Amino acid sequence: MLRDELRKLSERFDRLSDEHNRFLQRDYAELVADGLRKAENLRAKERVIRIAAILGRAADDGPSAALDETEEMMRIAMALDDIDVTVLKEFVQTQADILKENNNRAVFNVVNPLWKKKRPCPKMHEGELTSVCGKLESFGLIIRMDKNNSVIGPDEMSPYALLGKGERFVRYIEYHA
């Protein structure tokens, strides 16, 4: 998969600017080598596909690609399984507008009612969702919010909010050349 993505990108080489070509030959080559090392250590095909998508995004972005962020996105892709990614994508679907409307910030008074109305993966047991959210939070993709007890009951799960890095991660892994 990773090699297929790289082959597609090399076909587009001829149409790129000189600066973009220099980026691909210097900086991008190092990212690819890192991605290949990471992919070799993975059993799950889906994680390898996510790394390939991240590399594809970086190649397409060219000189404007944030190399450190791309490297971090690949590291995160190695650790997240399909359930983690599904939950994160639901956060993006339900909360991305909050970030846009609030200068890329999670807002307590907006997240609490939204969480009560439509929390991610409503069919998932709260214990499992709490575990997944903890993992996503450890990578800085979401953040646990204080619970507004007048909105969310005392026996209900505390809300989590999408962070900009979480939204960017989903954009990276959903990249298609």
pLDDT tens for 39-76 read 998 889 999 999 999 999 998 888 888 899 999 999 99
The per-residue pLDDT of the chain, averaged, comes to 90
162 beta partners: 142
Distances (CA, A) of 81 to 43, 87, 88, 121: 11, 10, 11, 15
Locate all alpha helices (DSSP H) within the chain, ordered by sequence: 2-11, 18-23, 29-40, 45-61, 67-79, 82-101, 108-117, 126-138, 164-173
- Of the ranges 20-29, 130-139, 151-160, which one carries the lowest mean pLDDT score? 20-29
Tell me how far apart the alpha carbons of residues 29 and 35 are, in angstroms, rounded to a whole number.
10
In 3D space, the residue among 163, 155, 20 whose CA is nearest the CA of residue 91 turns out to be 163
- Which pTM value belongs to this model? 0.86
Q: How many CA atoms lie within 13 A of 170 on its CB side?
A: 20
- 171: how many CB neighbours lie within 10 A of its CB? 15
Segment 3-21 mean pLDDT: 74
Segment 118-122 mean pLDDT: 90
Tell me how far apart the alpha carbons of residues 140 and 160 are, in angstroms, rounded to a whole number.
12
At 12, the pLDDT band (50, 70, 90 cuts) reads low
